[in-house]
Chains A and B, each alone.
Chain A
């Protein structure tokens, strides 16, 4: 158990809908990273938050947004969902100066 929690485990929804994925980092970790894993793209970085502030953006679509709250949990919002958004979404947490990241169990999103 990495100490990172994610909810829900599974989400099944329809195209055009909006969903929210939630992540709680390990105790003491101030940074949260979101990654998307699809069969053909591997693990792709989406966005990083550090102590409530956006720190870095990767290949995140404009339809996607995220935030980190004062209690350090983070939410990833996906809107106007398309079939191609079906993937595993992972949250990871870490703390400086270390570079290692610890991953949660993921949320499997299926868009029908």
Chain B
């Protein structure tokens, strides 16, 4: 079993939809949770960074962490075609390597 599980998609939505992306994990030592956006063959771009449980909002993006369920989510409001990319969840227990999900490919159609 992988430490981090993520549905690979693709997830197809119309422009303006609310998108929900999720990851589950098994290692209870993980305390820091990140979401990265990766356009095809480009470097991952850090979108959201959260410590422990709770919510964090940044513009159209909201990250949620539920440590009791070992479940994290990223919500994208008013999705745009430019949001079409692969979204990777990542996590670690401190100043060390990140463990990544496999990524969910999102397609937002005009």
Contact = CB atoms under 8 A, between A and B. Distances in A.
A100 B41 contact: no
Give chain A's interface secondary structure class: strand
A25 interface: no
Interface in B51-110: 51, 88, 90, 92, 94-103
Nearest to A58: B97
Contact of A2 (B41, B43, B95, B101): B43
A46 B95 CA distance: 15
B23 interface: no
A64 interface: no
Interface stretch (A12-20, A75-83, A90-98): A90-98
A106 B43 contact: yes
B14 interface: no
Given A88-B41, A101-B46, A31 B102 contact: no
B32 A99 contact: yes
A90 B43 contact: yes
Chain A contact residues (Cβ within 8 angstroms of B): what range?
A: 20 to 34
A56 B96 contact: yes
Contacts of A102: 46
Contact of A103 (B36, B51, B99, B102): B36
Contacts of B43: 2, 4, 90, 103-106
Interface string A29-67: 001010100000011010010000001101000000000
Contacts of B44: 43, 90, 103
Nearest to A102: B46
Interface of B: 31-32, 34, 36, 41-46, 49, 51, 88, 90, 92, 94-103
Interface of A: 2, 4, 31, 33, 35, 42-43, 45, 48, 55-56, 58, 88, 90, 92, 94, 96-106, 108
Given A56-B96, A92-B98, 6 more contacts: A2-B46, A33-B97, A45-B97, A90-B43, A101-B46, A106-B41
